[in-house]
Structure 1
Amino acid sequence: MKTAPLIAALATSVVAQTTTTSSPTTEFTLQANNITAIFIPYGARLVSLQVPDRNGRSTDVAVGYDNSSMYPVDTATNHTYFGAVVGRYANRIKNHTFTIDGNTYNVPGNEHGGLNTLHGGNVGYDQRNWTVLAHNDSSVSFSLLDTSFENFPGTVLTTATYSVSSYPSGPQGQPRPRLTTKLVSVALDLPTPIMLSNHIYWNLNAFQASNILNDTYIWMPYSDRYIQTDGILIPNGTFGLTSQNPGLDFQSPKRIGAAVDQTSGHDYCGTNCTGIDNAFILDRPANIGADSVVPVFHMWSQTTGIQMDMSTNQQGIQIYTCVSQNGTIPVKPSQLRNSTGAAQYINPYGCIAIEPQAYIDGINNPQWGVDNLEIFSPETGPSVNYATYDFSTF
């Protein structure tokens, strides 16, 4: 028996009975031991995340704005996607076109003069005012009913649930803070691409340096492959080995600045670009399963002593070292008050975006065999993007 009509009726009921906040920039503060996070309905986005540094000082490691009313302004100007959910399809779609079951769909081309679609089109999920389903002191859930937004086929109901918690860890049993993110999307009527991601920008040195090149390290032990692209970051259908491209090899811990130096002349982040803006594949060992929730990404700052360990069920991750930032967006005043204030503006390489997701443009590369990760219908299970971010100090 098809469940689509029942789910569609439930979706209508849920949206009708929940209370939309009076403002898309209303703040919802979540707290647990040693962690405070703030979210707003506009883009179901994270606007602040505070955890202790090695000296016990509360430190905001999320990049964005203190004044939440600035996020719509950002969309109309820089359009950074700071902290938002991006979708219905994160990252890029070649020629803003895809085919499902013999039907070809065209969605808005909103990048490179219309050559491709980025993060869902002209008005993606990051610009939508999500409905608040539930919230308490440590969690908040938002919902979005996508009725063929941006010409994507069919109707999709998504819930984004965020929670904070802490648990004893380490020899002294000190509380280790955790942020958990869960994006669940159900296709209600037609087969459709779904690939959401949280587009959070991080700075673990909390702008106590002008950038993150010299003090911040990355380790991705399972990322031995990456998706090769053309000069505008559209996949060319092939995979590369990170071991043969040192600027993208994080299978052992590496300082971000050393990696960026090794990308010079290789156009990894686009034509004539130095830096990282690449989609990595998370090839977990066979004995732990391709979609196992295990730590796949580690990052730490020598300046603050803050370490972040991310676990996810996703099989890919986009890493972007803020190569397009030009020093015009001010650092949050609250971050400057709580640090030495070495950086007054978000400079090139002043942050890093970490986007757990499936394969960029997988819907146009059937040879990869990832349709089960990116194409959903009423007959399939939901799309689930799950991640935890654990913080500690050293």
Structure 2
Amino acid sequence: MTWARAILLTMTFSTIATALQASVTKAPFGKTQDGTPVEIYTITSGKAEARIMTYGARVVSLKVPDRDGKVGDVVLGYNSVAEYQADPSTYFGSIVGRYGNRLAKGTFAIDGKEYHVPVNNNGQSLHGGTLGFDKLVWTGKEIPDGVEMTLVSKDGDMGYPGTMTTHAKYTLHGATLRIDYTLSTDKTTVANITNHSYFNLSGDGSGSILDEIITIPASRYTPVTPVLIPTGIEPVAGTPFDFTKPTVIGKRIDEANEQLKIAGGYDHNWVLNGQMGVLHEAAKVEDPKSGRVLTVTTTEPGVQFYTGNFLDGTFKGKTGAVYAKHAGLCLETQHFPDSPNHPSFPSTLLKPGQPRHSTTIFTFTTEAKK
């Protein structure tokens, strides 16, 4: 190979790599009520666009094409920080913690010592308590193909022991949004981190998700008490919770089933069949209307499938449309709810010198009209 040809090939490969790399820009996105500046990062890959803001490390928008190539925003949310702060209970797009999902009565024990954290949901602690990670301003840093969000939660914050540092890296490759989490602490604590985006594959503000089709590769789930605390693990076979085969979300959601009645729909944790710590499929959602398909893979042992049962039309979203019941669905990859109080569940203990790493990937494709 000649020297000139080698230079040309090097330049060609460099051009391809540059073309494949996502661009990242940062801009102001207003301030919180206490005057803290909020920034928003826009990640553009050429096939998709994700906007992530530092308030709650939230996915504000995620634009991907439909089967006809028309780009649409597929996550619910608002146009301003003020609107997010005015809505304390939906957690649109945020990273929730220090303990995502529920802790029974806000109580858990570590090495025989009992801890109490704020209760904020029917006498239970939900998503970290009254001032969880979703309501804090994270520190953003541009990285290749995305943004790294960092939050330091001090020892005693919301009653949790240990100073815990959370890094969440959002990267965009093609139409795939990836989140890599790293958690560390200086004192043994409990931690369960997840992203709480609401998806509607027909587009934000387009109506109900009940006609979308979901598959969840899980043969078991965790049924709950009337205050949504797990009672144990049971098989999905023969119940409306069996999504091992593609099923229209709304097909069984109104069946006379006590678990569906308790939650007003689906709001449960599925025990995934894959191996914890290794990437495996958590769910696949297909939208016959738009042709969009979302496949979620994760290293986590569970996924909370939530059908937006508590959306009640109180708030209007980015398009001005009202978010009514079932306007979006959540697929919160996670350890199980209330794990510290269930010795048989995968442990959520986080110990000094033992950082925890996890990954969740949201991949968007399209399929032809059937």
1:184 CA drift (Å): 1.1
1:217 aligns with 2:213: yes
2:50 matches 1:43: no
1:251 aligns with 2:244: yes
Cα distance in 2, alignment partners of residues 210 and 376 from structure 1: 40
Rate the CA distance shift 1:22–1:53 in 2: closer, same or farther, 3 A: closer
Q: Indicate yes or no: 2:257 matched with 1:266.
A: yes
CA distance in 1, matches of 2:98, 2:261: 24
Matches of 2:358 and 2:105 in 1, distance apart? 25
Deviations 1:198-238 (A, max 9, x none): 11110001157531112x010112x11001211111112x2
Aligned with residue 87 of structure 2, among 71, 74, 82: 74
Residue 15 of structure 2: aligned partner:
none
CA spacing shift, 1:149–1:270, aligned 2, 3 Å: farther
Q: Does 1:385 align with 2:367?
A: no
Q: Is the 8 A contact 2:60 2:75 kept in 1?
A: yes
Q: Equivalent residue of 1:111, what SS?
A: coil
CA contact (8 A) 1:232 1:270 kept: no
Alpha-carbon deviation of 1:296? Answer: 2.4
Q: Identity across aligned pairs (percent)? A: 30
In the alignment, the residues of structure 2 paired with residue 25 and residue 155 of structure 1 have an alpha-carbon distance, to the nearest angstrom, of 23
Task: Give the whole-Å Cα distance in 2 for the aligned partners of 1:274 and 1:111.
Answer: 15
- Maintained 8 Å contact 1:95/1:116: yes
Q: Structure 1 residue 94 and structure 2 residue 78: aligned?
A: no
Hey, what does 1:192 align to over in structure 2? 189
Query: C-alpha distance in 2, partners of 1:201/1:318?
Result: 12
* Other-structure match for 2:17: none
Is 1:376 matched up with 2:350? yes
Tell me, which stretches of 5 or more residues in structure 1 are unaligned? 1-19, 167-176, 337-343
Name the residue aligned to 2:129. Answer: 121
Q: Is the 8 A contact 1:357 1:385 kept in 2?
A: no
Other-structure match for 2:177: 179
Q: What one-letter code is carried by the residue in structure 2 that aligns with 1:98? A: F
Cα distance, 1:94–1:195 mapped onto 2, change above 3 Å: same
Question: Given that residues 56 and 137 in structure 2 are in contact (C-alpha distance below 8 angstroms), is that contact kept between their aligned partners in structure 1?
Answer: yes
Structure 2 partner of 1:278: 268
Are the equivalent residues in 2 in contact too, given 1:30–1:38 (CA < 8 A)?
yes
Matched residue of 2:233: which SS?
strand
CA distance in 2, matches of 1:136, 1:192: 29
When normalised by structure 2's length, the TM-score is: 0.86
Task: Give 2:351's aligned amino acid.
Answer: S
Shift of 1:120: 0.4
* Alpha carbons 2:29, 2:81 under 8 Å: kept: no
Q: Would the alpha carbon gap of residues 349 and 138 (structure 1) be closer, same or farther in structure 2, given more than 3 Å must change?
A: same
CA–CA separation in structure 1 for the residues paired with 2:40 and 2:64:
18
CA distance in 2, matches of 1:111, 1:359: 17
**Partner of residue 113, structure 2:** 103
Unaligned runs of 5+ in 2: 1-27, 32-36
Task: Give the aligned partner of residue 318 of structure 1.
Answer: 304
User: Could you say what secondary structure the match of 1:257 adopts?
Assistant: helix
The alignment covers a number of residue pairs equal to 334
Relative to the length of structure 1, the TM-score reads 0.81
- The answer to whether structure 1 residue 240 and structure 2 residue 237 are counterparts is no
One-letter amino acid of the structure 1 residue matched with residue 216 of structure 2:
M
1:375 is matched by which residue type in structure 2? L
Q: Structure 1 residues 217 and 197 mapped into 2: Cα distance closer, same or farther (>3 Å)? A: same
- Could you say which residue in structure 1 is the equivalent of 2:153? 146
Letter in 1 for 2:246: P
Q: Does the Cα contact within 8 Å between 1:143 and 1:157 map onto a contact in 2?
A: yes
Q: Give the match's secondary structure for 2:340.
A: helix
Residue pair 1:301, 1:307 contacting (<8 A) in 2 also? yes
- Mapped to 1, the partners of 2:261 and 2:115 lie a distance apart of 26
> In structure 2, what is the equivalent of residue 157 of structure 1?
165
Q: Which amino acid counterpart does residue 99 of structure 1 have in structure 2?
A: A
1:201 counterpart = 2:194: no
Question: Could you tell me whether the CA contact under 8 Å between 1:39 and 1:47 is conserved in 2?
Answer: yes
* Cα pair distance change 1:52/1:25, threshold 3 Å: same
CA distance in 2, matches of 1:81, 1:22: 19
Distance in 1 between residues matched to 2:84 and 2:30, nearest whole Å: 16
SS at match of 2:265: coil
Q: For 1:136 and 1:106, how far apart are their aligned partners in 2?
A: 37
